[in-house]
Structure 1
Amino acid sequence: MTQATTGPRRLPENPDELEVILATDCGSTTTKALLIEKIDGVYRQTYRGEAPTTVEEPTADVTIGVVNAATEVGELAGRQLVDENGLLIRPARGNVGCDAYISTSSAGGGLQMLVCGVVPTMSAASATRAALGAGAIVLETMTSNDRRKPHDRIQRIRDLRPDMILLAGGTDGGTVRHVAAMAELIAPAKPQPRFGGQYKMPVIYAGNQAAIPVVRDVLGNVAELSFVENVRPVLEREALAGARDAIHDLFLEHVMAHAPGYDKLIEWADTAIMPTPGAVGNILQTIARTRGLNALGVDIGGATTDVFSVFSGTFNRTVSANLGMSYSISNVCAEAGFDAILRWVPYPESEKELRNRVKNKMIRPTTIPQTMEALIFEQAVAREALRLAYVQHKQFATTLAGVQQQRTIGDAFAQSGGQQTIVNNLKLDLIVGSGGVLSHAPRMEQTTMMMIDAFEPEGITVLAKDSIFMMPHLGVLAEIHPQAAMDVFERDCLIMLATCIAPKGPPASGKLLLKYSLEVGSRVVEGELHGHEMQRFDLGPDELARLKLVPAAGYDVGAGPGKPLEREIRGGMVGVVFDGRGRPLALPSNTEDRRALLKTWNQALGVYPGHNH
């Protein structure tokens, strides 16, 4: 007999036995539920529903929102998922119940952490990478060379009230004194966690293993200590997995267990609940690993922009907490400058008008553009928010500090010493965009153009968007059934926008940059791309083409300067986009010339059809 259960039930040893999977993402305002079903041997996302998140008073029980969202999905699917007692029905029998329930969460502000390290560019940077990779918001990174007085730092730790603290420092067998000094700042602060005053602050120690006795002696009475592998055991290597796993475990045991109703949610779920950004990172790493890709993901929200990347198997995540499209729009304008935003506007717009638009958005942050001019302005701001977030990501995703780099004599002249970013646009295969301004743009061409302008892809790059921000659900699904997550990711989550072809090299108006031929079935199209020119070729999301590129001397499409390249490519909703504007992208300084070019490019791609400004 089918019965309602609260879990955690033991999942079948063979994940292919799972026929119906319910997945939720408990956000700070909305709980989104998806139904994933096995159809003809392939997993598909079939129905979705949502309900307000109920983590705050008067309900103060997150499972009520989950039940409401699951009930809506069930009604749409014609499948009873919840019984009369408000419990999920498992396993599935006929059109009743589901075989597994999984969830992610960012309710209550997500997972908030304080990171403490010794050297900013070494142990502290590695610890920050571990925290961000686990899906945390890093409130602050505190280091031993901080210029503030000890009592100011102690007060700061008290004021922050993080969910947990990650302490690192020293290579194994290295400094103990500096690690002890950081521990001695945490001890007198007696930090109190955000949720529930009945337990001690969790502190994860991921530093010099020789300092464990000292850390235990200093913090043993004021914190709940966890000891894991050093995030920087030697200068040449990072080891982040131990710290990330401990963060996930403590997130469940402490943060989630003390948030309203989460003890029940943990019981219901068939696998560990993941912080939403951690789950997004998980699916991006899964697709990069299984497809052998270098991938970039971005989620631009109202207040923050998250950037995720996987290059040569190395994962990085950054959170630009001051770059967003509603609550943080004034920060974007302040950081980028009004000139940088106005350079994307193809018609006369004064700085005063721009300031008024920003103020209106701050007064009513949830409004959407009502006119074409307002839409163009908002998408101009989005370009700068994404560009700045990507700059910050590249500065963070670097080779390890303190490691001797092997360099040729040419490198010595070409670049200064120190850390180098591992982000390489010429080796980037896939960019996935999500967040309202990208996912809900009125035209796919607008999303495509925003992503090309902001990230400046080089060579051959596939552009896609997350249809309904499904990536968190799929990130946690990848934990129990990676193939199911890939099936849904490629068939239902991603909307293929375009394949972008952009020669790397200086912008040169009118100069021949590239000769190309596209072979689609029996049809062959040949053409040339010149400087400051954009072209669009229609090729559907399910169509393949054989692409041959012959770049001009000094221009690189991925095989080296001036070297030809041949590859099979897939189309998208926008098709194939040839971008001859040069890399790095530089718009003309003359206002009239710039506006004329913007109009030409927008017309070439059909970005704002019918707009005559």
Structure 2
Amino acid sequence: MHAKSLVVIDIGSVQTRALLFAQVEDRFRFVSAASAPTSLRGRDPDVAMGVLYALEHLSRLSERPLLDPQGSPIYPERADGAGADRYLVTLSAAPPLRAVIGGLSPDWSLASLRRATAAVPVQVVSTLSVVATDGRRPTEEEWLSALVEAEPDVVLIAGGMEQGAARPVRALLETAMLAARLRPEDRRPLVIFAGNASLREEAVALAGREVPLRVLPNVRPCPEAEQIGPVVEALEARYLERAAGVLPGLSLVQGWASASMRPTARALAHVVRYLSLEAPERAVLLVDLGGNQTTLIAARAGALAQVVRHGSGVGLGILPLYQRRGGEAVTRWLPREISLEQLEAFAWMKALHPATLPQTLEDMWLELAFAREAMAEAWETMTGLWPELSRPTIAFEPILLTGGLFAAHARPGALALAVLDALQPVGLTTLLWDPVGALAGVGALAEVEPGLAVEVLTGRLWIPLATVLAPALEGAVAPDELLFTVEVHHRSPEGATATYEIEVRGGRLEVVPIPSRGETELRRFRLRRPVDLGWGPRRAPRRIRIAGGLLGLIIDGRGRPLQWARDPAARREQIARWLWDVGALGGSL
């Protein structure tokens, strides 16, 4: 029997969200959302308190009591409408796992392990390879020293195609087991073996009863096949198991849930995979940017690529992000000059007070400059692990935007520009905005009630932010050079028509408002120089129907990759012009 109501609790590093889904008339729908600070700071950290505050807030907003007089969640739903049938929990607030990976070949087994660890909050602290990058073969003593020094939570060993090499993989396993036994029993890492199947029994014998071990299918059984899914699931389970031991109050929250807790990224991946299966010919991209974690998930025909970067965001993760990217990378996105001292002061303020919202335009520009670097870093990681995603032929449709950053800003143009700057998509795409973080809830719902999740998604719980047309250009483009013209043709529901001719110039963004009602088409493309609009070089459709959104249509004529002016003052003028084009330069917040 389907649930009539369901609450999803998403515990982030800064905010805890509570999302209510319920049967409303003849459909299962997203009803309401509320949030409260995640109670991980102060003298008595307790994530359960943040959850209860979020549920109390949700009760007031939805006019549905969710807590009993003793302060516990009410379930199942009562006859008077109080409570909910099920409570689910997703989590991204826990610190990442420390991992050591070991394998034979950097291009095969180790590459597969890197893709697996990228999909989970994992920090790879050391890599053991039979053949080092300089061609030298490390000794087993060097492997042992690296394992002891790393103090990992998990050790992953792979390598050897099926019926392939066994001896060097056996040496890696023996060294990993020895290093684990050198640590106190309660601090021994989980060893995951996902290599040559002929070594499975030996791995079990080497571990004995002293070393925790998971034996999984070979991540690389042959050159043409990769199966990292079981490794990702094992890492997620270890992440959640460890989280229960380091986050006070989490075990209590788990007791309220009617299904196993899941990482937030896994819940979001369900949504992305479903949307990619709806239209297998296109790729879907999701960006989840929070206070301490940035996640990118791409999918095409159900095949996932996923990157979770912990210590990257606009809250607690802003300081490690700043240390990795540097002040020059951040300030290149600002329209006004700022000293490194001011930049560092802002970063420290956000790290100490991650829930604060921008109060001025300057604060907004600074926060979104850091957000650009967080997204760009995650995108660089993703395209490094999955190079095929960086090809100009890959156009993402749609791009979904969720997470704390996208819930904290009231300037849609500024958000859209930050995404275009960081990811630099090509072709025709749609930006879909999830300002309340509901997508994680839908993904959690999909694990227990997939039919209801599809019903919620059919209702399109996101806000269309803009349709974007971003041509790829051959060679450098001169400022204000005419690239092409296009007619925007709109027909209202009453039958009235309007046509606008748009001139698209180099280095500029054109924002064309489009009414939310009626039908809009792009017609009569006239190319004035070689460009690729997403249909191949120097090709354009006769007409194509597009949707609008809060911003309407954005035509990005800046080219790919973006070209900055070399002179700092000229670059700031360039950034100011881009902000002006999308309505994010003047006024007040």
Give the TM-score range, shorter chain. Answer: 0.7 to 0.9
Q: Which residue of 1 aligns with 2:556?
A: 579
Moved more, 341-350 or 203-212: 341-350
- Determine if the alignment matches structure 1 residue 589 to structure 2 residue 570: no
**Partner deviation per Cα, 1:316-370 (whole Å, 9 max, x = no partner):** 1223445433445455455545444333333344556545555655666655444
- Determine if the alignment matches structure 1 residue 281 to structure 2 residue 258: no
Shift of 1:540: 4.6
- Determine if the alignment matches structure 1 residue 517 to structure 2 residue 487: yes
1:234 partner letter: C
**Partner deviation per Cα, 1:191-229 (whole Å, 9 max, x = no partner):** 7999xx669744332211011122122222332323222
Query: Which of residues 330, 334, 337 in structure 2 aligns to 1:345?
Result: 334
- Determine if the alignment matches structure 1 residue 74 to structure 2 residue 64: no
Q: Which residue of 2 aligns with 1:3?
A: none
Shift of 1:573: 1.0
Shift of 1:285: 1.8
Q: Which residue of 2 aligns with 1:24?
A: 9
Q: Distance in 2 between matches of 1:323 and 1:65?
A: 22
Q: For residues 153-232 of structure 1, what are the structure 2 equivalents within 5 Å?
A: 153-154=143-144, 156-158=146-148, 160=150, 162-190=152-180, 201-232=189-220
Q: Secondary structure at the match of 1:462?
A: strand
Shift of 1:445: 0.8
Partners of 2:154 and 2:190 within 8 A in 1: yes
Moved more, 470-479 or 108-117: 108-117
Partners of 1:162 and 1:193 within 8 A in 2: no
Partners of 1:287 and 1:486 within 8 A in 2: no
Q: Which residue of 2 aligns with 1:101?
A: 87
Q: Distance in 1 between matches of 2:59 and 2:364?
A: 36
1:589 partner letter: R
Shift of 1:107: 4.2
1:446 partner letter: A
Q: Distance in 1 between matches of 2:337 and 2:43?
A: 50
| Root-mean-square deviation over aligned CA pairs | 3.5
Shift of 1:394: 0.9
Q: Secondary structure at the match of 1:573?
A: coil
Q: Distance in 2 between matches of 1:349 and 1:31?
A: 33
22 and 193 in structure 1: CA distance in 2 versus 1, 3 angstrom threshold: farther
Q: For residues 135-146 of structure 1, what are the structure 2 equivalents within 5 Å?
A: 135-140=120-125, 142-145=127-130
Identity of matched residues, %: 27
Q: Which residue of 2 aligns with 1:319?
A: 308
Moved more, 41-50 or 197-206: 197-206
Q: Distance in 2 between matches of 1:49 and 1:175?
A: 54
Query: Which of residues 94, 103, 115 in structure 2 aligns to 1:129?
Result: 115
Shift of 1:568: 1.7
Partners of 1:462 and 1:500 within 8 A in 2: yes
Q: Distance in 1 between matches of 2:534 and 2:380?
A: 22
Q: What TM-score, normalized to structure 1?
A: 0.82
267 and 343 in structure 1: CA distance in 2 versus 1, 3 angstrom threshold: closer
Shift of 1:602: 2.5
Q: Secondary structure at the match of 1:309?
A: strand
Q: Secondary structure at the match of 2:532?
A: coil
- Determine if the alignment matches structure 1 residue 538 to structure 2 residue 538: no
Moved more, 473-482 or 449-458: 473-482
Partners of 1:496 and 1:541 within 8 A in 2: no
1:171 partner letter: M
Shift of 1:46: 1.8
Shift of 1:489: 4.8
Partners of 1:78 and 1:95 within 8 A in 2: no
- Determine if the alignment matches structure 1 residue 40 to structure 2 residue 30: no
Q: Which residue of 2 aligns with 1:564?
A: 540
2:177 partner letter: A
Moved more, 564-573 or 261-270: 261-270
424 and 130 in structure 1: CA distance in 2 versus 1, 3 angstrom threshold: farther
Q: Distance in 1 between matches of 2:359 and 2:180?
A: 51
5+ residue gaps, structure 1, are 1-11, 399-419
Q: Which residue of 2 aligns with 1:528?
A: 503
**Partner deviation per Cα, 1:290-326 (whole Å, 9 max, x = no partner):** 3444122223334442222224543112234454334
Q: Distance in 1 between matches of 2:427 and 2:567?
A: 28
- Determine if the alignment matches structure 1 residue 609 to structure 2 residue 582: no
Partners of 2:296 and 2:307 within 8 A in 1: yes
**Partner deviation per Cα, 1:355-399 (whole Å, 9 max, x = no partner):** 55556556666554443333323323332332233122211123x
Partners of 1:144 and 1:178 within 8 A in 2: no
5+ residue gaps, structure 2, are 492-496
Q: Distance in 2 between matches of 1:210 and 1:436?
A: 46
Q: Distance in 2 between matches of 1:344 and 1:258?
A: 37
1:185 partner letter: T
Q: Distance in 2 between matches of 1:289 and 1:157?
A: 41
1:180 partner letter: R
Shift of 1:447: 0.3
Partners of 2:121 and 2:310 within 8 A in 1: no
220 and 57 in structure 1: CA distance in 2 versus 1, 3 angstrom threshold: farther
**Partner deviation per Cα, 1:565-590 (whole Å, 9 max, x = no partner):** 23221111111111111222212224
Q: Secondary structure at the match of 1:33?
A: strand
Shift of 1:158: 4.8
Q: For residues 391-402 of structure 1, what are the structure 2 equivalents within 5 Å?
A: 391-398=380-387
Partners of 1:529 and 1:578 within 8 A in 2: yes
Partners of 2:99 and 2:126 within 8 A in 1: no
Q: Which residue of 2 aligns with 1:4?
A: none
**Partner deviation per Cα, 1:128-166 (whole Å, 9 max, x = no partner):** 323443x33244352224687655644554565555443
Partners of 1:136 and 1:277 within 8 A in 2: no
Q: For residues 303-382 of structure 1, what are the structure 2 equivalents within 5 Å?
A: 303-321=292-310, 323-333=312-322, 335-350=324-339, 353-354=342-343, 357-358=346-347, 367-382=356-371
**Partner deviation per Cα, 1:16-66 (whole Å, 9 max, x = no partner):** x32211111233454322111122333322233345656899988765654
Partners of 1:44 and 1:492 within 8 A in 2: no
Q: Secondary structure at the match of 1:448?
A: helix
Shift of 1:606: 1.1
Partners of 1:20 and 1:92 within 8 A in 2: no
